[in-house]
Chain A
Amino acid sequence: MHELVEFAVEKALELGAGYAEARFEEKNGTSLAMKNGNPEGLSIISEKGIGVRVLVDGGMGFASTNVLTKESVAEAVKKAVKLAKAASRVRNESIRFSDEDFHRVSYKVKMKKDFRDVSPEEKMELLRKIEEEVKGTGVNVPMRYLGYSDQLWKKIFVNSEGAYVKSKIPRVSVMYNLVVFENGQMEQAPFVQRAFSGGLELIEKDEPWSWAVKDVQALKKLIYEGQKPPEGKVDLVISPEVAGIAVHESVGHPYEADRIFGREAAQAGESFVKPDMLGERIGSDAVTVIEDPTIPNSWGFYLYDDEGVKARPRYLIKDGIITEFLTNREYAAKLGQRSNAAARAINYNREPIVRMANTYLAPGDYSFEELIEDIKLGVYMVSFNEWNIDDRRYQQRYIGREAYLIENGEIKHPVRRPILEITTRALWSSVDAVGKEVEMFPGTCGKGEPGQGVPVWMGGAHARLRDIPLRRP
């Protein structure tokens, strides 16, 4: 296949492109669903194709094809070059890419238990196990939607500046939506996902059924014992799961350089962060946020991005100070920097754009007991359902699913739907202590048009926020 990828790049240069890259991607896998105990059917995923991106006279063009012949690829290259030329006429400034060191490399993530060797019925057993364990709790869960998915992603990336990156990354995930109905009341754990890069052994070891059991038991307890959360100014301890969504939404996204420069303005939005805010304080000393694609077996794993740049951990906030944005080559050049390898494309038919991978609140040195021991009145938010954030990533809201009252340093009864509605600056300035243990949670990060849902992890350590105006529904 690499001959065809190299052919695409050569052809683009021949047709007048100043820069060209081609990316072959092949995805093979299986997905299964089970709805209220019924197997919903099997879906076999098998797709491949080539995407070509070029710069011509400072304009950018992209075309893709899933017909993998020389003629068809040549046709796609021709279209990309033509589109780039036409686009260059509606530009004020030429698009330029940062200078980078490129490599010829090949890497893969190994599977101990290769999901290709496992039959669909055996994979369905994983879902059946969730069914059985959930039923075994005796909690009434009338609606149960379960999903399993595995995919092997193979890629070959070549550009006109000497990059050649070949990779093979397997990804497995299980998700569930469980609706608990007890005592005339209903609570829900929707779209809960467990996901990894690697083999089936990672799902088996993670035991998604244990998470499901924990969820339905917590929801039952919430129904029977839940009380109103305290209102007004209290202390709030957020779990790694809640810290994860908060760093993803209010740190990761607004630090995406394409958003900062307005390229996403009509879709995924803009940012309150401006280029001159590097070095500015955004949170307390306790807050460090790291973005790291290289975490082994992570859901957002990669070692080279989709522009061929080598990945590394990126410190978005260090000790409360904005230290780095997420960049691709286009926006690294605008900032006068080198790319930090945040360019990702979800498939051969999508352009690489600036994306997160695994974003987390770095650990501090507090044990969980130390975090809560001097809280007189507060809330511990363990998981969340409803969440959203504005266009500029400044005004956000997270509503607790599982949450508890903290009183005089002790965890007490569950509380219903405590609402954290807060600005980004207030959120990160309120953190006065961070726990020792980091935990990660998977998600699908949406951005781009057409949409590119990319796998990410988000998480971190527990964090304590002081004097938070907590609300009730």
Chain B
Amino acid sequence: MFDVNEFILKKARELGFGDVVVLGYETNRRQVRFANNEITVAKNWHERKVELFVELEKRVAGTSITELSEENIERTLKTLLSNMKGMAPKEDYYGIAEGPFEYRDIPETFDKSIVELDEPNEYVERAINAALEEGAKRVAGVLYTDHNRLYLTTSNGVEAFEEGTGIEISVRAFIGDLESGHGTNSVRILKKFDPESAGRKAGEIAKLAQNPEQGPEGKFDVIFDPLAFANLLSYMSFMTSAYAAEAGFSFLVNKLGQKVANEIVTIKDVGNMPNGYGSRKFDDEGVPTRETTIIENGTFKTFLLNTSMAKKYGTETTANAGLMMPHAWNIVLEPGDYTKEELFSEVKKGIYITNVWYTRFQNYVAGDFSTIPRDGIFLVENGELRPIRNIRVSDNFQRILEGIKALGKESYHIHWWEVRTPVSTPYVLVEDVGITRATK
């Protein structure tokens, strides 16, 4: 596909564009959705497209081109040019990275056996059966296989290629109307894929969650399952983008260098994580991805940046372009030193939340939010678990980070419908979490 990229770059130069980024994709994605222990639909997507970013005297524009004929490419570039000419410049635009760069392959991000996998239904059946064996009555979920090729060419000397694969499953198991559990597994190479573990976890939680009582309200020590805490960290990942901060969507505004979390908290973005679902060799302007510490021992160190935003703030890119909007690849909350058992025994009277969804903000800049536990919720009292239901976490993001009291030693890589940016997190114990419920 590089021939297409080069043709676009050549034509864009002829028309007088300055910075040009051409990112070609060839993607094959398969999906199997299931519910009530049977497949509801199976899908296949094959897509070939180019994402194009152009700059003309500080005016910036983007589009994607799906019909890759020379005629359509020229027409698209001319349309962009004529549309941009009368526009006001983006005064805070400072260009794209100067290439070329050298790239290293990231271990465990490509597996031919996923490309050659003819039929993934057996993995679905294995996940369903694992959940049923644990006592579930109904099992629902989704399985994906991915095969992507990326071709990047920029006007600043970058030509980069990567090929990646992935397979993942998300499983939700039900016993009655109110008893459910959820498990996920997302990997990049087939031999690490463990659909049974997702099914088993979903089934186990559903079984434990039987006959729940109405939950309490007030302030409680809460153990967040990795699935639940990944949801919060995935929302936070957006807020670590400098773009989100400027646009008024981040509680980290004006907090560089300040303490925003307990000192046991270190949060990173790792673009080159082996076997990470969001890993990529290079960002959208060709900078090799890396590990960036966002919060170190509780102190907020940096927003995620592309080259232009980094120059605006007099610093270096963090290799998170997104040309308009820098974004995280894989968020990592560094684990601590508690075993799961030790973490639970820390809690004399608290709540264990296995999953949350529907996280929404009253105020993004203040960080006030609420989110709803879904699936098993448990009162934890002297090591005993008692199922409860119908509660809501109502708190503040920074306060949650400041209230982190203990971290498990094992990390889990989470990616599903509600956790769009992949997150690696251990079990997390947070003190004094606000819990509310409907009283009518």
State the 4 A-B residue pairs at the shortest beta-carbon distance, nearest first.
Answer: A143-B248, A83-B42, A265-B140, A388-B358
- Nearest CB in chain B to that of A128: its residue: B88
| Interface hits, B171-204 → A, CB 8 Å | 171-172, 174, 177, 180, 182
User: In the complex the two chains form, is A188's CB within 8 Å of B417's CB?
Assistant: no
Partner of A262, one of B89, B138, B365: B138
Complex CA gap A41/B37 in Å reads: 47
Known: A47-B64, A186-B366, A395-B390. A390 touches B372 (CB 8 A): yes
Q: Does A35 contact B (CB under 8 A)?
A: yes
| Interface hits, B141-190 → A, CB 8 Å | 141-142, 170-172, 174, 177, 180, 182
Complex CA gap A211/B337 in Å reads: 52
Closest chain A CB from B321 CB (angstroms): 14
- Seen from chain B, the residues whose Cβ lies within 8 Å of a Cβ on chain A are 31-49, 59-67, 76, 79-80, 83-84, 86-92, 119, 121, 124-125, 138, 140-142, 170-172, 174, 177, 180, 182, 243, 246-249, 253, 324, 357-366, 368-372, 374, 390, 392, 394, 417, 436-440
Known: A41-B61, A87-B41. A395 touches B438 (CB 8 A): yes
Q: Does A204 contact B (CB under 8 A)?
A: no
B366 contact set on A, CB distance < 8 A = 186, 188
Known: A59-B42, A120-B87, A262-B35. A144 touches B248 (CB 8 A): yes
| Interface hits, A85-144 → B, CB 8 Å | 86-87, 89-93, 119-121, 124, 143-144
A341 contact set on B, CB distance < 8 A = none
B121 contact set on A, CB distance < 8 A = 86-87, 89-90
User: In the complex the two chains form, is B247's CB within 8 Å of A143's CB?
Assistant: yes
User: In the complex the two chains form, is B39's CB within 8 Å of A421's CB?
Assistant: no
- Seen from chain A, the residues whose Cβ lies within 8 Å of a Cβ on chain B are 30, 33, 35-36, 38-49, 59-68, 75-76, 79-80, 83-84, 86-87, 89-93, 119-121, 124, 143-145, 177-179, 186-188, 190, 261-267, 269-270, 272, 349, 351, 385-392, 395-397, 399, 417, 419, 421-423, 426, 430, 449-451, 468-469, 471, 473
B60 contact set on A, CB distance < 8 A = 40-42
Known: A40-B324, A186-B363. A177 touches B372 (CB 8 A): no
- Nearest CB in chain B to that of A425: its residue: B440
Complex CA gap A391/B119 in Å reads: 31
A471 contact set on B, CB distance < 8 A = 436
Partner of A35, one of B63, B79, B246: B246
Chain B interface SS verdict (over half):
strand
Known: A39-B88, A265-B138. A449 touches B438 (CB 8 A): no
B437 contact set on A, CB distance < 8 A = 395, 421
User: In the complex the two chains form, is A87's CB within 8 Å of B39's CB?
Assistant: yes
User: In the complex the two chains form, is B142's CB within 8 Å of A36's CB?
Assistant: no
Closest chain B CB from A61 CB (angstroms): 5
Complex CA gap A124/B60 in Å reads: 14
Known: A385-B362, A388-B360, A399-B362. A61 touches B248 (CB 8 A): no
User: In the complex the two chains form, is B248's CB within 8 Å of A177's CB?
Assistant: yes
User: In the complex the two chains form, is A84's CB within 8 Å of B80's CB?
Assistant: no
A178 contact set on B, CB distance < 8 A = 248
Known: A120-B86, A397-B392. A390 touches B374 (CB 8 A): yes
Q: List 7 A-B contacts (CB under 8 A).
A: A40-B60, A42-B80, A46-B64, A119-B83, A188-B363, A262-B138, A390-B358
User: In the complex the two chains form, is A41's CB within 8 Å of B62's CB?
Assistant: yes
B39 contact set on A, CB distance < 8 A = 59, 87, 90-91
- Nearest CB in chain B to that of A429: its residue: B440
User: In the complex the two chains form, is B32's CB within 8 Å of A87's CB?
Assistant: yes
Complex CA gap A392/B212 in Å reads: 15
User: In the complex the two chains form, is B66's CB within 8 Å of A120's CB?
Assistant: no
Partner of A60, one of B41, B249, B362, B365: B41
B390 contact set on A, CB distance < 8 A = 390, 395
User: In the complex the two chains form, is B249's CB within 8 Å of A177's CB?
Assistant: yes
- Nearest CB in chain A to that of B420: its residue: A451
Closest chain B CB from A396 CB (angstroms): 8
